Chains A and B, each alone.
Chain A
Amino acid sequence: MIRVEKRPQPSQFWSAATPVVAVLATMVAGGLLFAVLGKDPLLAIKTIFWDPLFGEFSFYYRPQLLIKGAPLILIAIGLSLGFRAGIWNIGAEGQYIIGALVGAGIGLAFYPLEAWYIFPLMVLGGAFGGWAWGMIPAVLKVRFGTNEILVSLMLVYVAEQFLASMALGLMRNPDGMGFPGSRNLQQYGSAYNAELIAGSGMHWGVLSAFLAVIFAYILLNRHMLGYHIRLTGEAPRAARFAGVNPARLILFCLGTSGALAGLAGLFEVAGPAGQVTIDFNVGYGFTAIIVAFLGRLHPIGILLAGFLMALTYIGGEIAQSQLGLPAAAIQVFQGMLLFFLLAFDLLTNFRIRLARGEVA
């Protein structure tokens, strides 16, 4: 009989190895899935993982990796702070939308004025919008003990309605001949989140993502606040004993993750997306939850996981267009990744033994 036994302390080896094993297992199970769908599994895996990086058109896909990875990393870093402390912000998608709306709103309000301070103001506005949207579940939790999972998730749908109303009403392009959607910020120099080096995909959002990784790393490993975050997640009673104020921690974690998600939204709307449209959000806020866990809630891990996830997005699109794989199959593939990660995670804290059956 197989028995699962708790390790005396977490295994360092498995803590690092599980993401790799999970990716390999996803490739195997995903390959089987693609084979059942009648596609060549090896070709499909190669299309997803190899072509965007080293294939014929990789000059186009590599910048895409930064563009898609950056918002995931930025949001996931914020979420991981809360997740470490047992504070579950599931509504990053909503904070992302509100951040984009506030930031874009500031830009559009100045149109057509050209001035250096417009983009910095938009950045502040984006962070503020996300922060404010994140503070709603935070304040409700601190004040009334509501569940932040439910409140933050439901606020996503509120934000989506808000986005639709803005795209169709207040922010609609007056020169757009009645089509929904705002002016294109890519054509408004002072508000455009342009690439820092042309053709590299490197825009301000990518830079912010890298800064966020460094900031989070220092916070968690070198600062008292980060220590309190980890302590609260691992042993809430011990955290209280150590003098942690739980309410302040909730406000900080939800506020910070909201602000980072709002930043991601602003950089997206002012850069790669360009305009506020009804379907502006593409689920980065939800995918970032996977990224956070895939990266083991560790800043460096999240950096790698963000790019891995971006890779499956881009590779998945290639596989869709070139091999005719259904979009749902790609989503299942991404879901498998999280599933296997959580499953293999068991090995960090437990070991598996073959032993005779026994009731003990």
Chain B
Amino acid sequence: MTQTLLSINGLTKAYPGVVANDDVSFDIGVGEVHALLGENGAGKSTLVKMIYGLVKPDAGTMTLRSQPFAPPEPRSARADGIAMVFQHFSLFEALNVAENVALGMENPPPMRDLARRIREVSETYGLPLDPYRVVGDLSAGERQRVEIIRCLLQDPKLLIMDEPTSVLTPQEVEILFETLRKLSAEGTAILYISHKLEEIRALCDAATILRLGKVVGSCIPRDTTARDMAEMMVGSSLKTPEPSNRTLGDVALDITGLSVASPSEFGTSLKNIHLTLQQGEVLGIGGVAGNGQDELLAALSGEIRSAPDAIKLNGAPIGHLGPNPRRALGLLAAPEERLGHAAAPDMSLTENALLTGSVRKGLASNGFLKWGATQEFAEAIIKAFDVRTPGPANAARSLSGGNLQKFVIGREVLQDPKVLVVNQPTWGVDAAAAAAIRQAILDLAGGGAAVLVISQDLDELMEISGRFAALNEGRLSDIRPTDTLTVEEIGLMMGGAHGMEVAHV
């Protein structure tokens, strides 16, 4: 780790209206696991795109093993030993593993040799994978393995990983880390992008922290607390959401034997779900993405109907009702996808306030809209939730992710729900906005409402929810109090390691 592999000096890249990277410099040693830490929009992606040859810097230089390094395109970066695993997989579902790997190669060897090499590499690094399996049948963790193996076959000197654990269970994360540690021991440097601080503390040798395109600090993660790193990332001290006194009331939401088919061909159907939610309670639902989270939200919001008795709100059967009758009864929801589901991108915030607010806020009479009252409602949301926007006439798509999410959550919270269901309330949201949203959820529960939080962020669920359950292939695990849960138990509730195993050698 004494030798420097890649040295970055003063890299700068500006886009119209925003400087994505401003004079960024740091070094990565041979075999070092280097974390790149920062909030959304801090410039992490732009930086790795420059290293991978996807974007050309405006100023600054890089040296690779003391040689000037300025890849004009990803192909030449790969030739120099840089490999990258993207957050979103680029795999063809209809092809098998070996065919997918061959598609990414300049000169693929005959399929039989390639399959043998895939087997070799996968066994060496504890990533068991049958080269002849069709990718469409693989789990998210297994698909990631295909991407990693595709990179490893190039024998990389630097492996860039962009948020690799967002689709994995804790057990799968541990297996991935074993693989990465082994690679590092063999001299492969790893540039690890994440905002999950505990992971970085467990894995990385060094960390560079970016904020608004600038390097604001570096640290040795093992010797730094997660809180200190988070504060460097955000640039201010963080307020931890505080649960208010929880006194649980009557059962507000009662789901018994809810089974619904997914409306989407690639969705996950819900199978025999039971849960009860009390007034003043926050129940967290975890699970790897695509295990029925969207369907659960839709079944509760009324977008998917079910048997009347499957869902009861304060004792009244509502499974057969559509979204607006449910809103009238006090069951509100905020979906995961902000643009296009929770809000219409090209419509103004006023129009978007009407989207779910018309029933409870009385924004229409005899079908005729009260634009004045609607605008007041939108302004109230903007004010109460500190949504940064010039005004309610602006289009939803002009807001940043965090600001729009505050608007979407605020729109439901200000309607005084009896039961609120949220899916991924802080996904892609900066830390300050995330803290504000979590506080709003806790305050809502403190006021006697019942809240169901569906999230893939386990830290978030542990922080705000009193009880926890996990969705796995459309089934809900037992519901357990969060204060007695261990990470291993959570992992098993989420479906364990999906048949993965640890690196052998």
Contact = CB atoms under 8 A, between A and B. Distances in A.
Nearest to B321: A243
B72 to A, nearest CB: 9
A238 B354 CA distance: 12
B344 A238 contact: yes
Given A223-B369, A224-B364, A234-B345, A242 B356 contact: yes
Contacts of B55: 358-360
A234 B339 CA distance: 11
Contacts of B355: 231, 238, 241-242
A241 B56 contact: no
Given A8-B395, A238-B344, A241-B355, A360 B322 contact: no
Nearest to B74: A359
A62 B367 CA distance: 39
B342 interface: yes
Given A9-B397, A230-B347, A360-B55, A224 B369 contact: yes
A64 to B, nearest CB: 38
A241 B323 contact: yes
Contact of A231 (B54, B344, B398): B344
B367 A223 contact: yes
Contact of A243 (B49, B323, B351, B395): B323
Given A230-B347, A234-B345, A243 B335 contact: no
Contacts of A235: 339-341, 343-345, 347
Contacts of B73: 359
A6 to B, nearest CB: 9
A247 to B, nearest CB: 12
B198 interface: no
Contacts of A358: 55-56
A234 B398 CA distance: 15
A204 to B, nearest CB: 28
B323 A238 contact: no
A224 B357 CA distance: 12
B357 to A, nearest CB: 10
A9 B390 CA distance: 13
A323 to B, nearest CB: 44
Contacts of A234: 344-347
Interface string B339-381: 1111111110001001110100000100111010000000000
Nearest to A239: B344
A58 interface: no
Interface residues of A, number: 25
A243 B397 contact: no
A223 B356 CA distance: 15
Interface string B371-405: 10000000000000000000000110110000000
Interface string A205-221: 00000000000000000
B322 A241 contact: no
B244 to A, nearest CB: 29
Contacts of A8: 395, 397-398
A241 B397 contact: no
Nearest to B356: A242
A238 B394 contact: no
A241 B346 contact: no
Contact of A238 (B342, B364, B368, B395): B342
A191 B329 CA distance: 54
A353 interface: yes
Interface in A232-250: 234-235, 237-243, 245
B301 interface: yes
B16 interface: yes
Contacts of B356: 241-242
A230 B339 CA distance: 15
Nearest to B335: A241
A29 B347 CA distance: 35
A5 interface: yes
B155 interface: no
B186 interface: no
B394 A241 contact: no
Interface in B71-116: 73
Contacts of A225: 367
A222 interface: yes
B341 A241 contact: yes
B241 to A, nearest CB: 27
A182 B268 CA distance: 61
Interface string A319-360: 000000000000000000000000000000000010000111
A241 B364 CA distance: 17
A224 B368 contact: yes
Contacts of A223: 367-369
A245 B395 CA distance: 24
Contacts of A5: 16
A227 B358 CA distance: 11
Nearest to B369: A222
Nearest to A226: B369
A237 B297 CA distance: 13
Contacts of A222: 368-369, 371
B369 A241 contact: no
Nearest to A357: B56
A239 B395 CA distance: 17
- The 9 A-B residue pairs with the shortest CB-CB distance, nearest first, are A9-B395, A243-B324, A243-B323, A235-B344, A8-B398, A237-B341, A9-B398, A224-B367, A234-B344
8 contacts: A222-B369, A222-B371, A227-B351, A241-B356, A243-B324, A243-B327, A358-B56, A360-B54
Given A223-B367, A241-B335, 13 more contacts: A8-B397, A9-B397, A222-B368, A223-B369, A235-B341, A235-B345, A235-B347, A237-B340, A237-B341, A241-B301, A241-B356, A358-B56, A360-B54
